[in-house]
Amino acid sequence: MSWQYHPKIECDYFEERIGVWKDITRLVSTPRKYAEKSLIPLWSFYSLVPRIDRELASDGKHWRACGANMAELNAFQIDYDSGVMQIEQFIENHLGLDYALYTSPSHKLVHHKFRVIIPLAKPLLNAYMTRGKVREYLLAMFPECDISTINSFRKQRMPAQPLSGDPYVFHIGKGSRLELDMAWIAQLSALTEDRETPQEPVDLSQDY
């Protein structure tokens, strides 16, 4: 699995670091403590298109933070913020699946907020993530998740101790990687037009 680790909050892409699943589970199981949310690094799980083909920002110097620079998605980052889905319920619903679940910085015992990294058995072309029907299909696999979970340029804060002082919770699911019906996804993609407008450079200091 390839993944991008962003040690700073800015639009530039940093050199890809190639990691294996055990690296990710290690980071999930040993969270750091940060003074504030904005200091927590971001990570994503895409393979980038070749550097020469990446889109530049209007200043001609920085790579645009947009889905057009992403070739394939290697893992989903599923976000649960509403408090409806409980951690225990997610675990029960997804027995036999590889995943790494960890609580978000704003998690509280009375309101569960957590993220789940789910590695894919085969990479998913990022172009599919802009198709309305495909997104509906993928969202239906994870009831009660944040609808922004499925988009063509997803970043999340890395594991960190909750700022609320509530206990950090993580769980490593063990089983097989998520198999997607790629043929069905291709059919859905052909039925719908692009549902995302071209993205302008993104300020990654915003709340994630």
Give the number of other Cβ atoms within 10 Å of residue 164's Cβ. Answer: 15
Q: What is the pLDDT of residues 66-82, one digit of tens each?
A: 677 778 888 899 999 88
Nearest residue to 28 via CA among 142, 139, 116: 116
Phi, psi for residue 131 in degrees, rounded to 5: -95, 125
Give dist(CA 48, CA 26) in Å, integer.
Answer: 24
Contact 70, 48 (CB under 8 A): yes
- Mean pLDDT computed over 7-29: 61
**Cα 30 from Cα 170, distance rounded (Å):** 9
Least confident of 1-15, 81-95, 178-192: 1-15
Q: Report pTM.
A: 0.79
pLDDT in tens, 76-126: 999 998 888 899 999 999 999 999 999 988 888 888 889 999 999 988 988
Residues, the chain: 208
pLDDT band of residue 199 (cuts 50, 70, 90) is: very low
CA dist 137 and 21 (Å) reads 26
CA distance 69 to 51: 9
Q: How far apart are CA 157 and CA 81, in angstroms?
A: 13
